[in-house]
Structure 1
């Protein structure tokens, strides 16, 4: 590639990015605007122009797959020596290299998951949380470490941040402290500790900092809106006061605040670097004008600062479709029919995605697609190269490559090997057999593609190993089912956004204005995944024949072409009349005493007053709550707290008015859980009558 070719084909704003070869540079890049193209061409142009040396560049991103894509594009641009890594991979490489010299002994072992060590920590403090609580506690520890909060400061920091821990904050503190003690005693590091120790080694050992800073002088950070305080600490340590830094991000796609990520480093970059060059990329090459218009209108009411209004560059396409269904089963079946119509019209199944808020929503679509004979893959399940059939195939292919003759043709050889482990000319009907077949077919298709470029079996195996390291799976022929969070960074010809109701989008436990705004941005991310076809849908009831009490998401008000449903005023923004109202005192229903404690008000009685309730009903309510929380992958207390369950068991409500009379239960929880609670209470009453 010639020097001038690096800048050829860039639009004016992308070219401005590429030509800003020295920092500080801040690129605000909207969805589909070609940010990866802009920053890789910037790096290639800087190297080819002699402004920097390739070995002195460190490009940092957040996922192994994204880092692999950066490296691939940089190789194609003639700059293979540039380092492109995740924060953790770059830090671990440096920590492992310098550990024997400055610390001594073997470097610590990296743990992939906190759960095994956290289970041991629970035993040490004699706690026994369930599996879902363990995951939530691990998330709290990750948030604390990412925001540089030690165990002793957790409780106060969580309170100030408005977090609701899965167990009392004191318990999180004890478990966090025990976890860190065990980790150090066993010479282990988790992902956060890798970053922390690398920054500490550089700070405490000047010769280490000097060597790293001499090596890396030119930094590029992608997805800068997702940087957390710990990553920012490491980045600042790497820079050492220098400002040859280019950051790229989109404040409209900030959806990981719950992990400690914050967009303020991106939006505040010009303040931190007053002489920074700020460039906006707003030409959207991914989506049709119809999709772009909906995305822009979705953010019109957003409180997100520095919003980027996208400008569509593609020709017109179909208008987004909004569909209301009677229940979730009807919604899943309707989406399956629409997907089948798209595939029949020529849209490949791998270019279609169904996106939902929580993973538990996938089950209905898996069933509907299986019934309709539509192939699908569940994103977020096993990684492609970790699937048993793929591992088996790679082992066989690797063995065959060692003994292959020079004139063996790649595609027929691969087909012959894979046919021995399940690849057939026709696809099976569905289920696990279909999933296995799709995996093997993806390998065979990749072999055919590489064969056209002259690759042999050894080159094919090398390509598989490279892709496995970068988590770059070949496309599998099936509709993608994924959560909105898992869909970030991806795109499809057709996207179905399902379950778009209040209580799910925004999610029921998003309460503060900032949390609500993050939910809006999450829906925006979903909308901007679509290139041409976009459909949004919701169901009025959970089950066939159920109470049709759900409402479409408030984010869709004014966007669907139909009048917005009436909603109660949000508790965070009461009407003037509500502001003037003073809550009436609550009296104990047994002794008549005025109740001042919140838990007593919820129960409707003094804690010392006797209560008559059905213990079997309380146990049924607890079992139901555990099942609901597990299905939705949320803490049990988000469904109902222990005190609320006790109050329900004591009052055994069988109508809306009775359930709403319990302090803390509002319309959203009534709509979401009322039917199940009434059913359990009626069943308990029937048991009593039988006795």
Structure 2
């Protein structure tokens, strides 16, 4: 008997709400497994249910499970979901957090004394190293060299081995040759040693060193953790893979989850090869593909599939590509808008954002995404001018903002004297008023509005906590905030999100505006070589799949107002012209081909609106969907149309297909036309059938009784 009603799920309960592929992941908790999970396919749901099923079925002891991901936010979300599934005690951490915990614990035993302080930022040490080498570095140069230091270390390179590897990879940081950069690396390590600090990469490297050299410590770690889950495995770099190998040892109880089409961090040393080669390393591994996209509409999914299939991997038909199959309700078609210049684009996007808010879309469910952080300023100004609240992702972390820190401090003080005489949410608002919160939002935008939105998010969190736990008081609210702060699990802030495509990964919104879709931004002009360009394509794919319902793309012909239009749409949109229109092409069709017009377009196979694959049969092209993708029509409507067709065919004493073929009937149900003109666009509905059956079909789609409609049609035909 299910125990969901009591709040304690059984192993069977854990599997009940999963689709077949997710259930395959969850129901096999032992042994190696590789999950290729497309965007929006419920990978976090699958792996948390795998852990929960393992615990509830007795296959796992929760304290012996280590779930590793790449952001503190994702780790916090995983812990929250596991708690909701009745599982506590599982360690869900980032690679760095898990390694740092082990480093602090084993440092006295392996090295002696206390572990050194971790350097929060490399900039000051890199600048000092550059100064000692008499390099002229500005802020950008320091940032570039710091990134190169990180790449070298996660690639497990030393100052001695860096130069050869950098030349092979074609790296050219801040204009330095490989030999000069090797000297920077050596001096950086010297400065760090003098200061008695280590950096974040050292946390991983030193932990790897300890586990490699001290078999007794490695045995202790392996006895603690028996089962491993690694999320976002396509983002693993060389040192992280080495650390995972040392954790796992000779065992094979490891489940990895990732999507090669979302590999966008190669500049940090990440490589999808670890994901794609996993079945080769573990021949007994079970391979599961999650392809059912629950996040986005078929229109968004179709566009994303077209874009990602246009790349070199798509041309090869590479097995690493997961072709998404949309499961959601249909929505508006994606739109590409061209603007004369960047100021016009920013103003146009801001106006469209304001219109969506006016239609009832919460600001927190709208995002404006772009390739580079430098593009943010124009949209910030345009949204402020339109009086639209916004927040910039990638700026100050929520719990690092001054107003949030001050508010938490006030709440912590008030918690000591909470006597329960006032409802907790009301008391929290009284305290937040002292931090600058007010009942009504400020009329001005910009930073003032952003501060208010931060405090409002804390007030809303108090409401949510009280709703979930009516007995909760301020101490519980403070404890919740401290846990969220540690995990960087920020509450929802009511503002339109501005974010770069990299910062948007892992997030989703109802409405996404993807700006700057022109060559030079997407792909960025600095992307050199096929591999770098293909990563830019994947970055666009990540941006497209952030949208749940509505997706609007835009690009600007010129940088400045009144400037000459020299830009063109992104080359990545060429293959999506069938969806976005001819204006999406980065170059116009050749005149010689354009003259063949209609004949040519008939020769080109249509694309499935669900997964973007070529439609090879006439029946597939008619319905606009391949045989592999599930139907998107309302089953009751389709059955009503079939019943009507059967009655009409019986009265006329003709086969049912003479009225409409199955493919035509399916296309009608899927497209659900509301007018004769829309019905006429469907293949198989010619002028004669439109005149004869059109009113009846539209009546059925409007909810009329199939039998009665067929009888009325028969009576009309008899009288005629």
TM-score by shorter chain over 0.5:
yes
Q: Residue by residue, what CA displacement relative to the aligned partner does 1:67-92 show, whole Å, maximum 9, x if unpaired?
A: 11111111111211111111011111
- Which residue number corresponds to residue 566 of structure 1? 587
In the alignment, does 2:228 pair up with 1:213?
no
- Which residue number corresponds to residue 548 of structure 2? 531
Q: Note the 1:132-171 alignment, pairs <5 A.
A: 132-169=140-177, 170-171=179-180
Matched position secondary structure for 2:391: strand
d(CA) in 2 for partners of 1:212, 1:568:
61
Shift of 1:452: 2.0
- Which residue number corresponds to residue 237 of structure 2? 228
- Which residue number corresponds to residue 69 of structure 1? 77
- Which residue number corresponds to residue 90 of structure 2? 82
Moved over 6 A (4+): none
Shift of 1:154: 1.9
d(CA) in 2 for partners of 1:184, 1:162:
29
Matched position secondary structure for 1:309: coil
In the alignment, does 2:520 pair up with 1:503?
yes
- Which residue number corresponds to residue 460 of structure 2? 445
d(CA) in 1 for partners of 2:41, 2:465:
29
User: Structure 2 residue aligned with 1:519, among 520, 536, 539?
Assistant: 536
Q: Note the 1:473-484 alignment, pairs <5 A.
A: 473-484=490-501
Q: Note the 1:362-441 alignment, pairs <5 A.
A: 362-428=376-442, 429-441=444-456
In the alignment, does 2:512 pair up with 1:492?
no
Matched position secondary structure for 1:7: helix
Matched position secondary structure for 1:452: helix
d(CA) in 2 for partners of 1:156, 1:277:
38
Matched position secondary structure for 2:289: strand
d(CA) in 2 for partners of 1:565, 1:219:
45
TM-score, length basis structure 2: 0.78
d(CA) in 1 for partners of 2:55, 2:103:
27
d(CA) in 2 for partners of 1:442, 1:147:
40
In the alignment, does 2:24 pair up with 1:7?
no
d(CA) in 2 for partners of 1:320, 1:29:
24
- Which residue number corresponds to residue 710 of structure 2? none
Shift of 1:407: 3.1
In the alignment, does 2:265 pair up with 1:249?
no
Shift of 1:331: 0.4
Matched position secondary structure for 2:449: helix
- Which residue number corresponds to residue 709 of structure 2? none
Q: Note the 1:185-200 alignment, pairs <5 A.
A: 185-200=194-209
TM-score, length basis structure 1: 0.81
In the alignment, does 2:369 pair up with 1:355?
yes
Q: Residue by residue, what CA displacement relative to the aligned partner does 1:489-526 show, whole Å, maximum 9, x if unpaired?
A: 00000000001110110000111001110000000000
The question of whether the paired residues in 1 share the 8 Å contact of 2:573 and 2:586 is answered with no
d(CA) in 2 for partners of 1:510, 1:448:
47
User: Structure 2 residue aligned with 1:24, among 23, 28, 32?
Assistant: 32
Shift of 1:277: 0.2
d(CA) in 1 for partners of 2:465, 2:193:
47
Q: Note the 1:294-333 alignment, pairs <5 A.
A: 294-304=303-313, 305=318, 306-333=320-347
Shift of 1:395: 0.4
Q: Residue by residue, what CA displacement relative to the aligned partner does 1:7-54 show, whole Å, maximum 9, x if unpaired?
A: 111000000000111121000000000000000010111111111211
Cα RMSD for the two superposed structures: 1.4
Q: Residue by residue, what CA displacement relative to the aligned partner does 1:56-107 show, whole Å, maximum 9, x if unpaired?
A: 1100001111111111111111211111111011111111101111211111
d(CA) in 2 for partners of 1:495, 1:270:
36
Q: Residue by residue, what CA displacement relative to the aligned partner does 1:321-373 show, whole Å, maximum 9, x if unpaired?
A: 11000000000010011111111111100000000000000111011001111
Aligned length: 569
Matched position secondary structure for 1:536: strand
Worse overlay, 111-120 or 61-70: 111-120
In the alignment, does 2:552 pair up with 1:548?
no
d(CA) in 1 for partners of 2:500, 2:180:
30
- Which residue number corresponds to residue 465 of structure 1? 482
Matched position secondary structure for 2:321: coil
Matched position secondary structure for 2:526: coil
d(CA) in 1 for partners of 2:309, 2:175:
38
Shift of 1:567: 8.2
Shift of 1:568: 13
